[in-house]
Structure 1
Amino acid sequence: MSLIRSKWSLHYISRLSGSLFYSTEALPPSSPAPVDPLIRRISRARDPRIPVTRELDQWVQEGRHVTKSQLRKFITILRNSHRLRHALQVSEWMSNKENHELTSGDIAVRLDLISKVHGLDEAERYYASIPETSRVVEVYGALLNCYAEHQSLEKAEATIQKIREFGVNRALSYNVMLKLYAQMGQYEKMDSLMQEMEEKGICDGFTINIRLNAYANTSDLKGMEKFLMQTEADGTTLNWFTYASAANCYLKAGLSDKSLEMLKKSELFIKGNVSRIAYESLLTKYAAIGSKEDVYRIWIMYKNLGKSNNSGYISMLSSLVKLDDIEGAERILEEWESGYAFFDIRIPNMLISAYCKKGLLEKAEALISKILESGNELDGRSWDSLATYYCRNNLTESAVEVMKKAILAYRPSSKVNPFNLSACIEYLKGKGDSERALDILKLCRERSLFSEGTYNELFHFVHVEKPDTSAFHLMAEDHPMEKIDQASDAEKRGEMELSN
């Protein structure tokens, strides 16, 4: 259970720190929190193509000092904000420029960042450079995460064996291996590892949830129910997340009544510091079942906790949109607008997207105008929702103009919407307007919205007749085919959720 508690604690730390980069708190406007001026500088340096270390260099040149604890804090904030390239730059600056000696924890963090930013090969090269004396269990744990993330099973198994040799029985590392076995369908190995964990007494709530989800993925409801009953009979202390996971299993199987029963049971275990995140999760789960009454009931309980986070409004709005309760969503948006301290475009984007999908163009445009008139900015998804409306209604010329705004508003290295972009490219190619098509492609390349390989494929597509292919499928390098096929099916049903 300690892992579950620490996981939620990290989540709350992430929210608090992440508010500087992508606001999550809706606090009374009269209570602004003091902000470290260096953190503010780093928060503004969003473009991943521009090194964030420029801000650190300038800070030092101004005669100021940066402590090791500050740098670690910046790395944590950047990681939690998914600015991994910048986090890695700060990690490297810490040792290269400031000559700080790295602890095993610092090394483990850097290893993880290198794997995510540059890939497994670079991570292994960095690991090879680590002195033997520094290759402690924390570093092996990070290496295991790298192999698990890239689904390198044999190397992961060799690494977990190294961890065993330390004689330190850490549930975290074993859970990583357990999840990898589940992802790769190695259920016999998963059961064997779980038995080992039980013998060592290191099973926790996360272990249980991995096993429950494995049963769900194999549609083995009987196995899941037997496992859950046995776990309860053994006197294992379960939590709200365990029963919420069981609810997901039933929901995947189409058993809404049993899923509802598990969610009600989950509520009985919600208390203390996890209450806020638990209620946010349950909002979306009750919406998935279709229980509007429970969504509003949980929302009242959530608000009774005190101040409402932006993340709570996101959960509530997404739930009401899913339930097709547009009027209710409008009321929640008005409530948020009346009291937020930090503007978060993701919140109004929920309604902009819903309006466009339902054909309520005037409402979408009115909300967009309201945001712009207030001095706030739209992001790529805001404009992309409009482009989706125009594409679906054969107003492709309008979609082209809006798509340009979307591309400019996307954060660099975001994933551009393949449906809208391909529709615009094919429309312009059909008109013989290759110049405008290439302008859009060059803009995407400048913003790093897709790879150089995809750019070259689409560039060639614009100039050459390819009757057996489409712009959409030429984007497969950046959007794996299985995901494209799934999204294409969803798009045909009018159910695709747009995302940055």
Structure 2
Amino acid sequence: MSYATQILSISRKSFQFIKRFSFLATPTLPSQPSATSNLLTVKKEQSGVVSVPRTPFFQKLPLRDLYRWIFTAPESTSLVVPIIEKWIRGGGTVNYNRLLSVIRKFRSRRRYRNALEVLSWMFEKGFSKHKSGDLAIRLDLIGKVNGLEEAEFYFNSIPKYLRTGECYSSLLNCCAHARDVGSAERIMEKMRALGFAGSILSRNVLLNLYYQTQNYDKLENLVCEMQEEGINFNSYTFGTLISAYAATSNTEGIDKLIAQLEHNWIQYWHLDWTVYAIAANCYRKQGLFDKAFNVLKKSERLITNKKRRVALTFLMTRYAAIGKKEEVMRLWKILTTDGKLYSRAYLAVIASVLKFDDFESAENIFKNWESKNLGFDIRIPNLIIGAYSKKGNMEAAESVVDWTIINNGEPNLKTWSYLSCGYIEQGNFSMAIEYIKEAISVCEVGHHWMQFWESLAAIFEYLKSKGDMEEVEELVRLLRSKDLVSLDVHKKLMNWIKDVESNVHVIDVFCGT
């Protein structure tokens, strides 16, 4: 049976499943154009989707809502400034505060490259008059996007009279982001000398750096120093300390921190729900589910209206992690009656119910998500595709992929990798190979998602056992064409294939070891 025939057969078998999703309408927002792979073309033709040349997606959207326009732009592209300029050409107006709000939202979503793109444009067009606060934000973004060396170069280019505490704090952030303890400590000493080190913010940056680099003695010394100087802890401080104690399995230390917090509640009245949420996660990792449950309940009591949806969305996932499905559904019911929901909430609840293998609830919530017309988000169908593949229900998994394509969604690396992994588990390597090729075709350089590489490794092990050099060479050629492996790794991989007695694991070959 030819591969195209196999795909056609699968599509026919999955027709009944697609009918269950017949309520799903084409999403309002078309996806960003990309190179279409052979398999994707076959599936589109079979589903009746006509491929037509696409214009850039932002040309199709109305100009009435700048924020929606900007935040649906793909993260990996430089489309944000063209969107703003198109908005202006269409008669829209922007000002300093609106643009700063855009940057703030990009930073909160960790879309630092897009935030830097907008801020650089603001400087170029004169929206920012080199205020120290804007310089500090730009410095922080340069460090996150381009690295510490470029951040230091930019810092040195700032006139001395504008190097305020904000700028030094941003440079400290850059050192922490690069996990450069020595540079961070030097900056902190300079800040102390200039009188810029009195705030809790700079101490928290250094505290978290010590935690991330496992410098626990330095962390304890800094805590003592903060206490001696009368610097009150905030939610971030407590969260970092709880995480540090958890990293060393010091549950007694966590208990003491919680007790300190509750004993001095008047002093720490400003602390929010995140402190208990972090503690719950740490207790869970230690297998202390009852303690985790108790502090999650305390976390709920600290939720304010301002962060209500964000908090409830996060806590759903924490209840799921300790096996409390009834709590997940309780919070979901609250969320659905609280007002408008966004894709993040649907992602959280679908991932949570799938932990209990509750596919019926997942499908119903999926149906609800699509009916809200929030814009296409590949992560949501991917959750269901991954869950079905893990359970070996490949017919259902492929049907969700078909639905994605029919609705102008673009399957990504995870989509194809889930399918490949599912077929590997079933021992159907011919299908697994075809889908891993699709995964390679959409994989970007530097992608380290482990399941992709594990699936690829299993396939190479299989091909080596079969002596199928032709297929091996085809896969290696595809990997090289996408710059996913270096020439050196390519050579080592071919030598590994030929050496039938080699005990080296192919993952180690991919890593270049």
Shorter-normalised TM-score: what interval? Answer: 0.7 to 0.9
Alignment correspondent of 1:300: 333
Q: Does 1:372 align with 2:402?
A: no
Per the TM alignment, residue 117 of structure 1 is displaced from its structure 2 partner at its CA by 2.6
Which stretch of structure 1 is more off in the superposition, 416-425 or 239-248? 416-425
- 1:227-265 per-residue CA deviation (whole Å, 9 max, x = no partner) reads 221222123224322222221222121111111111122
2:343–2:374: 8 Å Cα contact kept in structure 1?
no
Pick the aligned partner of 2:468 from 431, 444, 458: 431
1:284–1:315: 8 Å Cα contact kept in structure 2?
yes
Per the TM alignment, residue 280 of structure 1 is displaced from its structure 2 partner at its CA by 1.0
Q: Does 1:421 align with 2:451?
A: no
Q: State the alpha-carbon separation in 1 of the partners of residues 63 and 336 from structure 2.
A: 21
**Secondary structure of 1:296's match?**
helix
Alignment correspondent of 2:311: 278
Q: Does 1:152 align with 2:189?
A: no
Change (3 A) 1:358 1:80: same
Change (3 A) 1:456 1:104: farther
Pick the aligned partner of 1:209 from 239, 251, 267: 239
Q: State the alpha-carbon separation in 2 of the partners of residues 333 and 52 from structure 1.
A: 29
**Secondary structure of 2:486's match?**
helix
Alignment correspondent of 1:486: none
Per the TM alignment, residue 435 of structure 1 is displaced from its structure 2 partner at its CA by 4.3
Per the TM alignment, residue 204 of structure 1 is displaced from its structure 2 partner at its CA by 1.0
Q: Does 1:455 align with 2:481?
A: no
Which stretch of structure 1 is more off in the superposition, 273-282 or 194-203? 194-203
1:111–1:142: 8 Å Cα contact kept in structure 2?
yes
Q: Give the letter aligned to residue 172 of structure 2.
A: L
Which stretch of structure 1 is more off in the superposition, 380-389 or 60-69? 60-69
Per the TM alignment, residue 216 of structure 1 is displaced from its structure 2 partner at its CA by 1.3
Q: State the alpha-carbon separation in 2 of the partners of residues 272 and 57 from structure 1.
A: 35
Per the TM alignment, residue 143 of structure 1 is displaced from its structure 2 partner at its CA by 1.0
* TM-score normalized with structure 2 length: 0.76
Q: Does 1:103 align with 2:131?
A: yes
2:320–2:328: 8 Å Cα contact kept in structure 1?
yes
| Structure 1 unaligned spans of 5+ | 1-18, 23-31, 482-500
Q: State the alpha-carbon separation in 1 of the partners of residues 80 and 278 from structure 2.
A: 39
Per the TM alignment, residue 314 of structure 1 is displaced from its structure 2 partner at its CA by 0.9
Q: State the alpha-carbon separation in 1 of the partners of residues 147 and 221 from structure 2.
A: 30
Q: State the alpha-carbon separation in 1 of the partners of residues 203 and 332 from structure 2.
A: 36
Which stretch of structure 1 is more off in the superposition, 424-433 or 294-303? 424-433
Q: State the alpha-carbon separation in 1 of the partners of residues 506 and 293 from structure 2.
A: 43
1:239–1:269: 8 Å Cα contact kept in structure 2?
yes
Q: State the alpha-carbon separation in 1 of the partners of residues 446 and 284 from structure 2.
A: 34
2:385–2:415: 8 Å Cα contact kept in structure 1?
yes
Change (3 A) 1:90 1:335: closer
Q: Give the letter aligned to residue 474 of structure 1.
A: V
Per the TM alignment, residue 111 of structure 1 is displaced from its structure 2 partner at its CA by 2.3
Pick the aligned partner of 2:223 from 155, 172, 194: 194
Pick the aligned partner of 1:243 from 276, 280, 296: 276
Which stretch of structure 1 is more off in the superposition, 162-171 or 246-255? 162-171
| Structure 2 unaligned spans of 5+ | 1-27, 32-61
Change (3 A) 1:400 1:154: same
Q: State the alpha-carbon separation in 1 of the partners of residues 357 and 507 from structure 2.
A: 29
**Secondary structure of 1:472's match?**
helix
Per the TM alignment, residue 283 of structure 1 is displaced from its structure 2 partner at its CA by 0.7
Per the TM alignment, residue 82 of structure 1 is displaced from its structure 2 partner at its CA by 4.3
CA RMSD of aligned residues (A): 3.4
1:279–1:298: 8 Å Cα contact kept in structure 2?
yes
Change (3 A) 1:79 1:405: farther
Alignment correspondent of 2:251: 221
Question: Percent of aligned positions with the same letter in both sequences?
Answer: 35
1:170–1:202: 8 Å Cα contact kept in structure 2?
no
Q: Does 1:143 align with 2:159?
A: no
Q: Give the letter aligned to residue 40 of structure 1.
A: W
Q: Does 1:182 align with 2:211?
A: yes
- 1:188-220 per-residue CA deviation (whole Å, 9 max, x = no partner) reads 332332233343334211111111111111111
Change (3 A) 1:190 1:239: same
Change (3 A) 1:184 1:413: closer
**Secondary structure of 1:290's match?**
coil
Q: State the alpha-carbon separation in 1 of the partners of residues 249 and 220 from structure 2.
A: 17
Q: State the alpha-carbon separation in 2 of the partners of residues 43 and 304 from structure 1.
A: 26
Q: State the alpha-carbon separation in 2 of the partners of residues 35 and 61 from structure 1.
A: 14
CA radius of gyration, larger in: 2
Q: Give the letter aligned to residue 116 of structure 1.
A: K
**Secondary structure of 1:102's match?**
coil
Pairs aligned (count): 443
Pick the aligned partner of 1:334 from 367, 379, 390: 367
Q: Give the letter aligned to residue 239 of structure 1.
A: D
Change (3 A) 1:167 1:93: same
Change (3 A) 1:410 1:44: farther
2:243–2:278: 8 Å Cα contact kept in structure 1?
yes
Alignment of 1:466-481 (within 5 A): 467=502, 469-476=504-511
* TM-score normalized with structure 1 length: 0.78
Q: Does 1:387 align with 2:425?
A: no
Change (3 A) 1:103 1:378: same
- 1:66-110 per-residue CA deviation (whole Å, 9 max, x = no partner) reads 755565455445444544344434444444576954322332233
Change (3 A) 1:61 1:475: farther
Per the TM alignment, residue 383 of structure 1 is displaced from its structure 2 partner at its CA by 1.8
Q: State the alpha-carbon separation in 2 of the partners of residues 340 and 66 from structure 1.
A: 27
Q: State the alpha-carbon separation in 1 of the partners of residues 386 and 69 from structure 2.
A: 31
Alignment correspondent of 1:12: none
